Amino acid sequence: MTRSNAVMIVTGGARGIGAATALAAAREGYAVCVNYLSNVAAAEAVVKQIVQAGGRAIAVQGDVAKEADVIRMFDAAARELGYVTVLVNNAGILERQTRLDDMEAARFERVFATNITGSFLCAREAVKRMSTRHGGKGGAIVNVSSMASRLGSPGEYVDYAASKGAIDSMTIGLAREVAGEGIRVNAVRPGVIYTEIHASGGEPGRVDRVKAAVPMKRGGQPEEVARAILWLASDEASYSTGTFIDVSGGR
């Protein structure tokens, strides 16, 4: 399937890594469904850039942690853009930096609902539509994990790190589960990247604080992560499934 008739859903596509991925995908010929939770202006700005450059894109509001919203998003993408060939499971949240013994149960529920349940629901709907077992024509799922899954984020957000560990396990298991059904499942693990997510943790300048610990001595840019995502989604990665690309400056 050529990219000129390929359709990509990017969850959390309005900002950061998601927006960079949506824009880069459109430049490569994908039609893009930009999912967002609440920032309609940011999502529409991404869509506008794509359309003005001659591409096709739609913005679809939806909470990935809600089953009905996920189904509606996939249905809208298929109806307005065509057969969905790629899912980028990017939507994720973190909360303010703190130790585990200061975290409340409600926080766990919020973080795990978006980061784990949301990714599972989106992957499930992608498989239902892409799998040859269900009459689909195949496709690719790229999960956005995090180096936090390996480093643990002690003293900051162990809950977020654990949620990304779940994504790593899902990537491996689902890849093996659907490998014979025309679907490849891979993941990228970004390191410290200049995005707005750090403000959610209470430290907008976190990348600059910790970059000295990165072997390359700098933070990454969202576009650098997007390039890895697009490679895993492409036919160039046709024999790669259940694998990970660490975009982390060597950390």
Active-site amino acid positions:
160
Q: Render the burial of 180-211: b for 16+ CB within 10 Å, e for the rest.
A: eeebbbbbbbbbbbbbebbebbeeeebbeebb
Residue 110 contacts residue 37 (beta carbons within 8 Å): no
Residue 91 contacts residue 111 (beta carbons within 8 Å): no
**One-letter amino acid of 14:** A
3 state DSSP class of 235: helix
DSSP bridge pairs for 203: none
Residue 46 contacts residue 222 (beta carbons within 8 Å): no
**Phi and psi torsions of 11, nearest 5°:** -80, 145
Structure-block tokens of residue 67: 């089953």
d(CA 82, CA 10): 15
**Phi and psi torsions of 183, nearest 5°:** -120, 130
Angle among Cα 227, 231, 234 to the nearest 5 degrees reads 135
Q: What is the dihedral of CA 166, 170, 172, 177, to 10 degrees?
A: 160
d(CA 187, CA 168): 7
d(CA 142, CA 89): 6
